[in-house]
Structure 1
Amino acid sequence: MISVVILGAGNVATHLFNAFDNADTVTVNQWFNRNIDSLQSYKNRVDITDDLAQLKEADLYIIAVSDDAVANLSTKLPFENRLVVHTSGTVNIHDLDKKNRRGVFYPLQTFSKSAALDFANVPICIETIDKSDLKILKTLSKAIGSKSHKVNTNQRKSLHLAAVFVNNFTNQLYRVAHEITEDQGVEFDILKPLIMETAKKVQELSPYNAQTGPAKRNDKKTIAKHLELLKNEQHKAIYELLTASIQKTHGVSTAATVRAKKK
């Protein structure tokens, strides 16, 4: 049995608590947050506190707060030589106070409190200063059904950057598409099968081989028509930037496209 104390009450902390609470071999000894009101709905399931001085002993302390708050919170922990990890994709492992054993338990997934999540679909990137501490993080990952991946800080930062592209930026493109369809009174839901098929296809093909569309085939007339339809200048700039990026990736000359756009 692995005992855990969670520090923080955001999206990641909440999903981790639920995963740990449902795991047979994990027990959450305590849940800390500086604003205890955020934890009141869980008080019948776990011991809650807003007092760091009252933290219980555990095998592992998981700091799941905003990136800017990780280092400061780690210095305030009232104990030494215990395993303390953070859940950030960008914070350096050495930003944790060295009075404790340090590690990273980074779940690479998008988290929203209102959306259910199966941790079988959440890869966990783990890192420790002491090699002997890797075992507990691997065991914890396995206990909640996740596959663990040993990565160093630079690799984790690169994964987080890549995640912004495939998740946050992609979601913003969904929002742009929603605005375009909404402007013409068309249901955005009509696009959802395409969204699902695109995501499915990249599971089997590389993104390079999965690419289709007017930019890749240098369909100048379609590109020009699209640019003409776009009245929002920001949307037009995004379209031009992504078209140029696709064409550069696939060795398509952009000169003809630029000329077609100017007609």
Structure 2
Amino acid sequence: MISIAILGFGNVGHHLYRAFRKRPVKVLQVFSPSLKVSEEAGTQFINDVSQLEKADIYIVAIKDNAIPSFTDSLPFENRLVVHTSGTSALNSISEKQRRGVFYPLQTFSKEAEVNWKTIPICIESEHKEDLPLLQELGNILSENVVEISTEKRQELHLGAVWVNNFSNHLFHLAEDFLKEAHVDFNLLRPLIMETARKLEAMSPSEAQTGPAKRHDTQTMEAHLKLLKDPKHKEIYKLLSKSIQSKF
């Protein structure tokens, strides 16, 4: 059985812990400076890296800019240490360790459940001999484990920002607008779900609809008059022009 330690207990670390403890993986320890020292179902929760025990894999799930200094502070050398970042390079991990990446391509919130079987897990290792272990660990969680280079993972992460972070921000803007207009945002939920569902059967280009695609200037001008915030007007114009440039 693979033994792991999870270093960091934010959204990603929290989900990894919950997922691995239900599967044939030995979660030896979970580290975070804010944790109280305790034990749960055979897993130690610690707040001092000096308490780390030997594990097959150390999974670092912390902020990207903290990875270099944190991994350099680990009280051991030549062990398999992987990060979960979409953008940080493989070599952001201290050169004292055997470096790797275990990046689950999904959005994580502590209160939201995810289906691990469908989540792509992107792996990379500095040493070829470490790759099979990362593949095995990934297969325990997901049916889609992919070996991918740092460069391609960074490009993939940018794509993820487009489809997830930016789209969710637009949902947020729509919610704020409708709240101010005293219209129930929940009326848009079936549309949001259908927008995503269509992409299972067609490309985004094929799925595009709306006034910008139709070059319906009259409707777009009416929308702009409804928007009070100049920044929102600019976003609407920019996105409309981008859509029109494709059709």
- TM-score bracket for this pair, using the shorter chain length: over 0.9
Residues in 2 aligned to 1:35 and 1:194: alpha-carbon distance in whole angstroms:
40
1:147 paired residue among 141, 144, 147: 144
Distance 1:146 1:183 in 2: 43
Deviation, 1:187, is: 0.8
| Separation in structure 1 between the aligned mates of residue 13 and residue 200 of structure 2, nearest angstrom | 28
What is the deviation of 1:248? 0.8
Paired position in structure 2 for 1:10: 10
Extract unaligned runs of 5+ from structure 1: 251-263
Q: Which residue does the alignment assign to 2:118?
A: 121
Matches within 5 A, 1:45-56: 45=41, 46-56=43-53
Q: SS at the partner of 2:212?
A: coil
The correspondence of residues 34-113 of structure 1 with structure 2, limited to 5 A, is 34-37=33-36, 43-45=39-41, 46-113=43-110
Aligned to 1:199: 196
Q: Match of 1:31?
A: 30
1:143, CA displacement in angstroms? 0.7
- 2:175 alignment partner AA: H
Which residue number corresponds to residue 249 of structure 1?
A: 246
Mark the runs of 5 or more structure 2 residues left unpaired by the alignment.
none
Separation in structure 2 between the aligned mates of residue 58 and residue 76 of structure 1, nearest angstrom: 17
Farther-moved stretch of structure 1 (115-124 vs 6-15): 115-124
Determine the C-alpha separation between the residues in 2 that align with 1:180 and 1:98.
49
- Name the aligned partner's letter for residue 212 of structure 1: T
Name the counterpart of 2:22.
Answer: 22
In structure 2, how many angstroms separate the alpha carbons of the residues matched to 1:92 and 1:101?
14
Matching residue within 217, 229, 232 for 1:232: 229
Q: Give the Cα separation in 1 of the matches to 2:148 and 2:66.
A: 22
User: Matched residues in 1 for 2:48 and 2:187: separation?
Assistant: 50
Q: In the TM superposition, what is the alpha-carbon distance from 1:160 to its structure 2 partner?
A: 1.1
Q: Using the aligned pairs only, state the percent identity.
A: 48
Paired residue secondary structure (1:22)? coil
- What is the letter of the counterpart of residue 7 of structure 1? L
Question: 1:253: which partner in 2?
Answer: none
Q: SS state of the match for residue 215, structure 1?
A: helix
Residues 1:174 and 2:171 are matched in the alignment: yes
Q: Which runs of 4+ in 1 moved over 4 A?
A: none
What is the distance in 1 between the residues matched to 2:143 and 2:67? 24
Greater mean alpha carbon deviation, residues 195-204 or residues 137-146: 137-146
Query: C-alpha offsets along residues 53-99 of structure 1, whole Å, 9 cap, x if unaligned?
Result: 22111110011111111111111111122111000111110111111
Q: 1:187 aligns with which of 184, 189, 197?
A: 184
Cα deviation, residue 243, structure 1: 0.2
Counterpart CA distance in 1 for 2:3 and 2:48 is 19
The number of residues matched between the two structures is 246
Note the alpha carbon deviations across 1:159-178, whole angstroms, 9 max, x for none: 11111111111111001111
On the 8 A contact 2:33/2:48 being kept in 1, the answer is yes
Q: Deviations over 1:170-211 (max 9, x none)?
A: 111001111222222211111111000000011211111111
TM-score by length of 2: 0.96
Matched, 1:162 2:179: no
Q: Secondary structure at the match of 1:29?
A: strand
Shift in Å at residue 123 of structure 1? 0.9
